């Protein structure tokens, strides 16, 4: 029986395995490339869907149906962290239409993104979820009240928000909207009570925190006003008007302190 040298045997095994390994590597690379192309195509479709829905002004029900039938919620949530800005923005837009309160933390992370368009899309999505947090009837009443307020029909808007709060006291947004009415009427104490009620139900509501800060500012409570404004900015750092308001308050406080020193 011929005796095979060990080194020769190892060489023969290696020679036989190399094509197998190369084929296996090629198969893995092809599968990875195929997966990447498939994922890229799906990302492009969500961007295209958003553009089409906005261009054609689809009704909300149509938008929800199209999104739900084409995409998984888990994919939409993961795409809010995508490297592409348009994909992030389209994903946030989609979540605003088909998401729920459990998706708010993901949108709050997107809200911190340095890209202002991504942050803006997250803001829009959060408003969609907040305004539609309750049953459809509650959302309809809330929309009616907001429309009345935008038209300057303040008393009717107040009645509408009162009804919504009585029927659905667990919702945050009716309190936030009624606080707008109280601010217009100059009743800042009432506005603060409603803002506090809204924050108790939705601690991440940056708009309510900013409104609370403005209420305290108009009551002359500068320190509390700035504290509330800073809370709003911690959630949404893209609130340019709030940054400016803090600067104004600090400048006024500095000037007032200077005047007091001059009197002494």
Q: Is residue 118 part of a domain?
A: yes
Please tell me the predicted confidence (pLDDT) of residue 59: 93
> Same domain, yes or no, for 128 and 139?
no
Contact between residue 104 and residue 204 where contact means Cβ atoms under 8 Å apart: yes
Furthest CA-CA distance within the chain? 115
Domain-embedded: residue 27? no
Question: Does residue 7 sit within a domain?
Answer: no
Which residue's structure tokens are 């893209």?
238
Confidence at residue 254, expressed as pLDDT on a 0 to 100 scale? 86
- 122 and 167 inside one domain: no
The mean predicted confidence, pLDDT, of the chain is 89
User: Please, are residues 177 and 145 in contact by the beta-carbon 8 Å criterion?
Assistant: yes
167 and 110, same structural domain?
A: no
Mark whether 113 and 72 lie in a shared domain. Answer: yes
**Cα 16 from Cα 173, distance rounded (Å):** 70
Kindly indicate the confidence band of residue 1, based on its pLDDT and cuts at 50, 70 and 90.
very low
Judge whether 239 lies within some domain.
yes
Same domain, 158 and 170: yes
CATH number at residue 244: 1.25.40
Confidence of residue 240 (pLDDT cuts 50, 70, 90): very high
Count of other CB atoms within 10 angstroms of residue 58? 16
- Could you tell me which of 34, 30, 66, 32 has the C-alpha nearest to residue 48? 66
Q: Hunting for tokens 């800073």 — which residue is that? A: 230
Report how many domains make up the chain: 3
Q: How far is CA 215 from the centre of its chain?
A: 24
Q: ∠76-238-181 over CA atoms, to 5°?
A: 100
What digits encode the pLDDT tens for the residues 152-191? Answer: 999 999 999 999 999 999 999 999 999 999 999 999 999 9
64-106 residue pLDDT tens: 999 999 999 999 999 999 999 999 999 999 999 999 999 999 9
pTM, to two decimals: 0.83
Q: How many residues does the chain have?
A: 264
pLDDT one-digit tens code per residue, 199-234: 999 999 999 999 999 999 999 999 999 999 999 999
Distance (Å, whole) CA 15 – CA 172: 71
The reply to whether 140 and 83 lie within a common domain is no
CA–CA distance, 186 with 229 (Å, rounded to integer):
19
Task: Note whether residue 12 is domain-resident.
Answer: no
What SS3 class is residue 85? helix
Does 262 reside within a domain?
yes
54 and 118 belong to one structural domain? yes
Do 121 and 142 sit in the same domain of this protein?
no
Cα first-last separation, the chain: 115
**Residue 30 in domain:** no
Domain CATH for 58: 1.25.10.10
- In a domain, residue 9? The reply is no
DSSP 176: H
Give CB contacts under 8 A, 24+ apart, made by 149-156.
149/177, 149/180, 149/181, 149/184, 154/181, 154/184, 154/185
| Residue 177 lies in domain | 135-187
Predicted pLDDT of residue 41:
73
pLDDT for 23: 66
């Amino acid at each position: 029986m011929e005796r095979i040298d060990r080194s020769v045997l190892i060489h023969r095994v290696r020679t036989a395995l190399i094509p197998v390994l190369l084929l296996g590597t090629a198969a893995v690379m092809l599968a990875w490339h195929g997966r990447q192309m498939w994922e890229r195509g799906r990302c492009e479709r969500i961007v295209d869907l958003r553009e089409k829905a906005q261009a054609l002004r689809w009704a909300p029900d149509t938008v929800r149906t199209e999104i739900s039938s084409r995409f998984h919620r888990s994919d939409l949530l993961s795409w809010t962290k995508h490297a592409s800005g348009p994909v992030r923005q389209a994903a946030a837009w989609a979540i605003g239409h088909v998401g729920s309160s459990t998706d708010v933390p993901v949108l709050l992370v997107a809200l911190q993104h340095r890209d202002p368009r991504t942050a803006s899309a997250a803001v829009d999505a959060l408003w969609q979820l907040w305004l539609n947090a309750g049953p459809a009837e509650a959302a309809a009443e809330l929309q009616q009240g907001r429309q009345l307020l935008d038209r300057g029909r303040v008393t009717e808007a107040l009645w509408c928000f009162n009804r919504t709060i009585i029927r659905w006291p667990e919702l945050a947004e009716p309190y936030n909207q009624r606080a707008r009415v109280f601010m217009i009427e100059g009743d800042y104490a009432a506005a603060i009570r409603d803002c506090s009620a809204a924050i108790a139900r939705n601690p991440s509501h940056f708009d309510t925190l900013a409104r609370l800060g403005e209420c305290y500012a108009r009551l002359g409570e500068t320190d509390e006003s700035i504290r509330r404004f800073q809370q709003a900015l911690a959630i949404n750092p893209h609130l340019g008007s709030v940054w400016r308001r803090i600067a104004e308050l600090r400048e006024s406080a500095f000037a007032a302190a200077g005047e007091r020193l001059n009197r002494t």
